[in-house]
A and B are shown apart, each in its own frame.
Chain A
Amino acid sequence: MVVQGSNMAECHPVAFRWVMEAKNRGATIIHVDPRFTRTSAVADLHVPLRPGSDIAFLGGIVRHILENDRWFHEYVVHYTNAATIIDERFQDTEELDGFFSGFDAERNKYAWDTWSYQGVDGVVPAAGHKEVYGEKGAGRHDLRGVKMTEREVDPTLLHPRCVFQLLKKHYARYTPELVEETCGVPKALFLEVAETLCRNSGRERTSAFCYAVGWTQHTVGVQYIRTAAIIQLLLGNMGRPGGGIMALRGHASIQGSTDIPTLFDLLPGYLPMPHAVLPDRGLDQYVNNNASATGWWSEFRKYIVSLQKAWFGDAATADNDWLFDTLPRLTGNHSHMTTVSEMADGKVKGYFVVGENPTVGSMNGALHREGLRRLDWLVVRDFALTETAEFWRTAPELERGEVRTEEIQTEVFFFPAATHTEKDGSFTNTQRMLQWHHRAIEPPGDCRSELHFVYDLGKRLKALYAGSTAERDRPIQALTWDYGALGPHAEPDAERVLREINGYTVADGQPVPGFAKLAADGSTACGCWIYSGCFAGGVNQPARRRPQGEQHWVAPEWGWAWPMNRRLLYNRASADPEGRPWSERKRYVWWDEGQRRWTGHDVPDFIVDRPPSYRAPRGATGIASIGGEDPFIMQADGKGWLFAPSGLLDGPFPTHYEPEESVIENPLYPQQCNPARMEWHRRENPYHRAWGDARFPYVLTTYRLTEHHTAGGMSRWLSWLSELQPEMFCEVSRELAAEQGLANGGWATLTTARGEIECRVLVTARLRPLRVRGKVVHTIGLPYHWSYVGLVRGDPANELIPFVADPNVSIQESKALTGNIRAGRHSFGRRSATGGASLRQPEPAEGEAPRDLPGLHARHRAPPVEPGRR
Chain B
Amino acid sequence: MARKLPVVGEWPVVRQLAARDATGLDGTATSARTRALQPRTAGADRVARSVCPYCAVGCGQLVYVKDERIIDIEGDPDSPVSQGCLCPKGAATFQLVTGAQREQHVLYRRPGGKEWERIPLERAMEMVAERVKRAREETWQERIEEEGAEHQGDLVRRTLGIAHLGGATLDNEENYLLKKLYTALGIVQVENQARI
Contacts and interface: CB of A to CB of B under 8 A. Distances in A.
B4 interface: no
Interface residues of A, number: 162
B57 A14 contact: yes
Contacts of A425: 171-174
> Chain B: interface secondary structure?
mixed
B22 interface: no
Given A251-B55, A479-B180, A545-B49, A407 B112 contact: yes
A349 interface: yes
B20 interface: no
Given A334-B189, A421-B70, A276 B151 contact: yes
Nearest to B107: A414
A139 to B, nearest CB: 11
B179 interface: yes
Interface string B157-196: 1111111111111111111111111011111111111111
B183 to A, nearest CB: 6
Given A335-B191, A426-B172, A428-B172, A376 B155 contact: no
A611 interface: no
A12 B55 contact: yes
Contacts of B17: none
B195 A251 contact: no
A410 B110 CA distance: 7
Interface string B109-135: 111111010000100111111111101
Contacts, number: 478
21 contacts: A252-B169, A261-B175, A261-B194, A276-B154, A331-B151, A350-B131, A356-B192, A356-B193, A383-B102, A392-B109, A410-B111, A421-B63, A423-B171, A440-B65, A451-B171, A457-B128, A457-B132, A461-B132, A461-B181, A545-B79, A811-B196
A348 B160 CA distance: 7
Contacts of A549: 78
A356 B176 CA distance: 17
Given A263-B195, A410-B109, A531-B172, 6 more contacts: A251-B167, A335-B191, A410-B111, A416-B106, A436-B51, A549-B78
Interface string A461-486: 10011000000100110110001000
Interface stretch (A53-61, A714-722, A748-756): A714-722
B156 A440 contact: no
Contact of B176 (A436, A528, A709): A528
A354 B170 contact: yes
B36 to A, nearest CB: 28
Interface in A356-414: 356, 358, 361-362, 376-377, 379, 382-385, 392-393, 405-414
A440 B63 contact: yes
Interface in B64-90: 65, 68-70, 73, 76-83, 85-90
Given A14-B86, A331-B144, A258 B163 contact: no
B130 A458 contact: no
B121 to A, nearest CB: 5
Contacts of B69: 441
Contacts of B79: 545, 548, 558
Nearest to A721: B92
A140 interface: no
A133 B91 CA distance: 47
B1 interface: no
B138 interface: yes
B42 to A, nearest CB: 17
